[in-house]
Chain A
């Protein structure tokens, strides 16, 4: 009777509610912490993996190894002092451009044909002079067994081509 006074009920429900809130908050904190710990250990693991991969990358990129690989598989040679050109103007003019630069042909509008041309104007301006362009020449690519071998190697290493047997 007297126990169930309004104030008592209120206090009781409040305490129960706050207790429940506290409990749920504590649970949430625990869960979040476990998620955080998992994330942290994953990060640490990932960092460790990155360290291993970096070490491996620099191991595989040792200059002597690269030098041997380039020598065997590519047609590249180390730069020599003679091959350095400080100015592009000094370059010999032997490279024929792959696609020769071509002036866009002047389009003559149809009504131009009936246009009256002033007498004073020179004849040449109406129709463009067609200058024969040099025939495009492909720079000769070296075709040597080494290049084929390298292409084959590349193909073999690409998994899409069914190569790559680890």
Chain B
């Protein structure tokens, strides 16, 4: 057998014996090939999905790419700004670095403490040294550094000193709107004012929260009040400017005030909100409501007279006028001279139940509705007896907050429908929309009563106790109030709360200006008087003459015959009793 034949035979034999194995291998390879091509198909399909279906098509459709969510998430961490009605920042959050130490990484606490106390103001050597020796791994050394301080600490090159990014609340306007905007803690938690009541919303971040305040009016109000408080050496005060039509509070200031940047150094007096939290016996400004109640419920003629010749005795109490007119007074005269006896008699005519209901309708017996949490509950007698009705008619024996007075009187002069004060700007409305939150559907007094009250309040400024509040051309109207403070359960004649509530222009009231001064002392210029007409009325006049040109309100000079109060003149008997009239109430 030749070798070739053998080979051929062997090959044939191999062919024969391994045939099935080769077939099997071939089959497997096909299977693997199929498997791989399936995988490649899947990869291909995924590529098409990612590039075309998810990548190109949405872009062609113009829908937003998913990545854009991220910057918004970053923004979320920042507490939202608070701005005034013109967009001026009242509160904003800025990124700052805060210094903390990891004592485990500090080898030489003495050296680090020395270096820190030398370079960074506000870091005390001993305190820092004590902190750096603790066992803890995290100790705050100073929060919210300035960039310069951070740079200096970085220069020290100490590995144990580290920074954490934090957000600091900044109040660019300082004290100006401290009580309304409020303040927040170092951890960014709202502790007072809008910062507190809108804490959750502000913490979410996003769009700034716009308030109804106007920082320019706020400044005017604070400036004039500051002057008055200084001039009359007073303890403090409260001031409000409100839009009578919409109920928007344009300015509200409580003095003394504090720097919201640093509330920890403020005294309780400074932190106290006189505008909404403090409740005071308003004195004669309350006569607006008792007179309105009488005019609306009993519809008397204006010539109706009240005998004020002798003090009114009810039980143990005697009500008398400080400068008695000693003659019967007509309704306009009672209002103009601010006669306590006359107003008490009016209250008596209205009746206990009716007067109480009237006050309650005006919201004088409940905390005022406003978007901050610091609200005082009015102090009214638990049981109304007749004497309570008489004193409540001229503003004693009942305590309300200044904002109560402003909003209730606004409801009366704006046409007789209830207005609720608000501090948050409704932006849809601000863009020229109709005022939606203040429906004109809760009527307190009739249109006619409202008109009569406007006339009476104008009369107080033209002929009565508030002549110093007049600004020619703006037809200011209003009512003064002087109340004695209760010290140890007795009215103290030396300690007064003098106030003035004014509206302008009186023929169609748009703005309310309220000024209250706590414990003013008479000066030589005021002939020793510290009453509402001498203290608060001039300040309100100054505020109005500053704010009206700012708001672009045209003055309209009118003749005496065209003045709103002219039709009331026939009801005035004697013109010699004009000027600063003191109205007081004493208990015996």
Which residues on A sit within 8 Å (CB–CB) of B474? 81
B170 and A86 form a contact (CB under 8 A): no
What separation, in Å, do the CA atoms of A48 and B92 have in the docked complex?
11
Selected contact of B92 from candidates A54, A79, A81, A82, CB within 8 Å: A54
Q: Name the residue on B nearest A37 (C-beta).
A: B70
* Contact call B215/A55, Cβ cutoff below 8 A: no
Contacts A80-B545, A81-B555 hold; do A40 and B71 have CB atoms under 8 A apart? yes
A3 to chain B: closest CB distance in Å?
A: 13
- Whether B443 is near chain A, meaning CB under 8 Å from some CB there, is no
The stretch of A56-64, A112-120, A140-148 in contact with B is: A56-64
Q: Which of B264-272, B391-399, B546-554 sits within the interface? A: B546-554
Q: How far is the CB of B583 from chain A (nearest CB, A)?
A: 30
**Known: A44-B71, A48-B95. Is A55-B89 also a contact (CB below 8 A)?**
yes
**Interface hit among B171-179, B283-291, B343-351, B362-370:** B171-179
Which residues of chain B from 86 to 107 have a CB within 8 Å of any chain A CB?
88-89, 92-95
| Least distance between A105 CB and chain B CB atoms (Å) | 43
- Asked if A81 and B472 sit within 8 Å, CB to CB, the answer is yes
Q: For the complex, what is the distance from the CA of A59 to the CA of B92, rounded to whole Å? A: 11
Return chain B residues, CB-CB under 8 Å to A55.
89, 92, 94, 170, 172
Using CB atoms, name the residue of chain B closest to A43: B71
In the bound assembly, the distance between CA atoms of A117 and B554 in angstroms comes to 59
User: Which residues of A (31-73) have their CB < 8 Å from a CB of B?
Assistant: 36, 40, 43-44, 48, 51-52, 54-56, 58-59, 61-64, 67
B172 lies within 8 A of A78 (CB): no
Q: How many residues of A contact B (CB 8 A)?
A: 25
Q: How far is the CA of A44 from the CA of B77 in the complex (A)?
A: 13
Inside 8 A of B176's CB, which chain A residues have their CB? 62-64
Given A48-B95, A86-B554, also A40-B70 (CB < 8 A)? yes
B74 interfacial contact with A, CB 8 Å: yes
Residue A160 at the B interface, CB < 8 A? no
Judge if A84 is at the interface, Cβ distance under 8 Å.
Answer: yes
A83: CB under 8 A from chain B? yes
Determine the chain A residues whose CB is within 8 A of the CB of B70 once the complex forms: 40
Of all chain B residues, the one with the shortest Cβ separation from A60 is B172
Q: How many residues of B sit at the interface, in one of the four size bands?
A: 20 to 34
Q: Tell me the nearest residue of chain B to A83, going by C-beta.
A: B549
What 0/1 readout, one digit per residue, does chain B (56-87) give for beta carbons within 8 Å of chain A? 00000000000100110010000000000000
Q: Which residue of A lies closest to B556 (CB)?
A: A86
Q: A55-B92, A64-B223 are in contact. Are A81 and B71 (CB under 8 A)?
A: no
Q: Contact at B471–A81, with CB atoms within 8 Å?
A: yes
Which residues of A sit under 8 angstroms from B554, Cβ to Cβ? 84, 86
In the bound assembly, the distance between CA atoms of A82 and B473 in angstroms comes to 8
CB of B216 within 8 Å of the partner chain: yes
Least Cβ distance of B70 to chain A in Å?
7
Which residues from A are CB-within-8-Å of B472?
81-82
Query: Measured between C-beta atoms, what is the minimum distance from B163 to chain A in Å?
Result: 15
Cβ distance B81 to chain A, nearest Cβ, rounded Å: 8
A43 to B75, CA, bound (A): 12
A79 touches B549 (CB 8 A): yes
Whole-angstrom CA separation of A79 from B548 in the bound complex: 9
Which A residues contact B (CB, under 8 angstroms)? 36, 40, 43-44, 48, 51-52, 54-56, 58-59, 61-64, 67, 78-84, 86
List 5 A-B residue pairs with CB atoms under 8 Å apart, sorted by A's residue number: A40-B71, A55-B89, A62-B172, A64-B176, A81-B472
What 3 pairs between A and B have smallest CB-CB spacing? A63-B219, A79-B549, A59-B172
Starting from the known contacts A51-B92, A63-B218, A67-B219, 6 additional A-B residue pairs (CB-CB under 8 Å) come to A44-B74, A58-B88, A58-B173, A62-B174, A81-B471, A84-B555
